Amino acid sequence: MNMSLRARMLLLALLPTTLVAGLLTGIFLLRAIDDLEQGLRTRGAAITRQMASAAEFGIFSGQSAGLSALTESALNIDSDARGAAIIHAQGATLARSGDLNPSLWPELGRIEGRRLGPEALLFVEPVVRSSLPVDDIYAGTEIVRATEAKVIGYAVVELSLRDVSSKSERLVAIGVLIALLGSVLGGWLALRIARTVAQPLLEASEVVARIGEGDLTARMAIRSAGTLRSLAAGINDMAGRIGVTQEELRARVTEATVGLKREKDAAEHATIAKSHFLAAASHDLRQPLHALGLFVAGLAQSDAARQEPRLVAHIQSSVDTLQNLLDAILDISRLDGQNVVPRIEGFSMGNVLGRLGEDLSLLAEQKGLKLRVRPTQVWVHSDQKIVERILLNLVGNALRYTRAGGVLVCCRQRRNAVQVEVWDTGEGIPEHAREQIFEDYVQLGNPERDHVKGLGLGLAICRRLAEVLGIPLGVRSRLGLGSVFWIELPVAHQLPAYTQPSADVRQVEQMVDSARIAGTILVVEGNALVRAGMEQVILSWGGSVLLAENREEALSLCRESDQAPDLVICNIRLPGLVSGIGLAQELQREFAHMGVLLVSADVSEDAQTAARRAGFVLLKEPVSPGRLRAALQHLLAVRA
């Protein structure tokens, strides 16, 4: 409530006074009105008893004149009596005086003050005839005194409530007047207090407001402060101190503002530099790593691999670790930069869990663990790719840190949500570390930073991806028994129409890895190392290779060849700012039925969208040799 200080003080003093005056007045009025009505009831009961006692002989003897005189005397006894009657026990009216309402009477009996509407009270007293038996005094028996009573009629009186009502109204008026006088007196006292206390406070508030607006010359009058003299002196002293230090504060604020602006500019420049660095790293680091992977794949099929198999295996392991580290760092950078926008839609959790089991079953077998995925028919509403990435990391972590037993993936539906849980039989997580494990580079039981045990970024990525989706992510664990990691997804209420999934690159990777490639493949790549790596692995798989650095070389090679290539592997970004997608479409128009496989170190959503619109398969560099061979086998089979 927007009330002034004076109004609040007035209300504070007036409210208790008014409440007390009203309460006391109400109690007094209720008591007085009750006494008035009780007195009327007492008089009515006395009149009817007198009438009943006097009417016994008249009813017995049938003297109507005496009974009429009795009813008339009842009206004269009390001014509030508006009617009286003597009624025979058989119901006949023997005598009646005044204004009566027999239609409102209940069954006659002893009645003391029953209301007949809002204006009358009914009193009824039975008229009883008493008789004494006559005993023979000469019979020699004991005389037994017994009284037999018989109702021979009723004395009826109606008393008016008008006088009581008028007196009650006068009492209410007097009570209200007394309450108003009490309230007025309390208000007058409150005003007196408000003037002596509120006025200095209001003046102090005004002075403080002027100081807050910058008027440092505002002061309170000490004489007008009264009992708040010390407050006035303190406000004046505060205004003086503020005036003295104002220039110093302004100088400090200006200096701090300049410093903050300088730091803000530096932070913005650092952010821009970081974005440029990550963009360059995403492209410049992925291409050499892609070429290195292709060279290692070619080396694995050479004579040197047969002589030094352990050396080749170590090189391959190092390449895989480097690739995983680069992918994790770039993923975290994209998530921290808020460059990931989820696509929320309904999808089947059963399909997601099925693919998850297929992808990680081989890893579980290699570690001697049992991976169980419970089927489910539930549909959820979220981003399918992000959910798959979270579960892939959680199940991969569970397999990595479980030495014996197995891993279970299941769904629990709870009202409008589905909790997807990953159970393992590992060593468990201490309670103090259950929040730390979601931080960057945090690993339990790996102080030596062995990359075989992971990089410590999987759960950090899961936490960031869960924040992007706005879903909860948690863990329950017991030492020595295992852990349960879970995410909670909203249920999809409207299930989208089910479509048969088409064969994608993941399914093609499950083909027999030893199948050879038959056909001519054109490689269009601006990086010489990548071209050399592509040539080595394709030749080792039994295919023929044509190498081109740019668009002109690619078109020239195709036109000069006796037979057009069966498939082109083209980078999205080519020298001279040429679009690889545009070149692939040009080659398909000129050389019909040529298959197209796009590769790129650009992992942005725009690149993926452009490839999808063109209808081409896009692989992100670095591409594993197995994945590359599976894609080539699939595209060549589709072309055939």
Give residue 274's Cα distance to chain centre.
36
Residue 417 has pLDDT above 80, yes or no: yes
Instruction: Give the sheet arrangement for strand 81-88, strand by strand.
Output: 93-98, 81-88, 148-160, 120-131, 111-115
Task: Give 421's pLDDT tier (boundaries 50, 70, 90).
Answer: very high
Q: What is the pLDDT of residue 410?
A: 92
Which of 203-207, 368-372, 373-377 bottoms out in mean pLDDT, i.e. has the lowest? 203-207
Query: Does residue 146 register a pLDDT over 50?
Result: no
pLDDT in tens, 536-592: 888 888 888 889 988 888 888 888 887 888 899 998 888 887 888 888 888 888 887
pLDDT at 446: 54
Enter the tokens of residue 377.
């028919």
Contact 568, 597 (CB under 8 A): yes
Confidence of residue 282 (pLDDT cuts 50, 70, 90): low
Q: Confirm if 89 and 126 have CB atoms less than 8 A apart.
A: no
Exposure string for 30-45, b = 16+ CB within 10 A, e = fewer: eebbeebbeebeebbb
156 within 8 A of 122, measured Cβ to Cβ: yes
Task: Provide the token pair at 551.
Answer: 């668009």
In Å, what is the CA distance from 313 to each residue of 285, 299, 316, 495, 517?
22, 10, 5, 47, 24
Dig out the tokens for 343 from the structure: 């696509």
* Helical segments of 433-550, H only: 458-469, 505-509, 528-540
State the average pLDDT over residues 316-327: 66
As given in the structure block, the two tokens for residue 485 are 């990691």
Per-residue model confidence (pLDDT) at position 507? 42
Summarize the confidence of residues 305-309 as an average pLDDT.
68
Residues contacting 11, CB < 8 A, separation 6+: 3
Least confident of 317-321, 394-398, 404-408: 317-321
At 242-280, the pLDDT tens digits run 766 767 777 888 888 888 888 888 877 776 676 566 656
Distance in angstroms between the alpha carbons of the first and the last residue of the chain: 82
CA nearest neighbour of 573 among 280, 330, 289: 280
DSSP 471: -
Q: Are strands 567-571 and 573-574 parallel, antiparallel or unpaired?
A: unpaired
Q: What pLDDT is attached to residue 327? A: 66
Express as a percent the part of the chain with pLDDT over 90.
2
Q: What pLDDT shows up at residue 1? A: 45
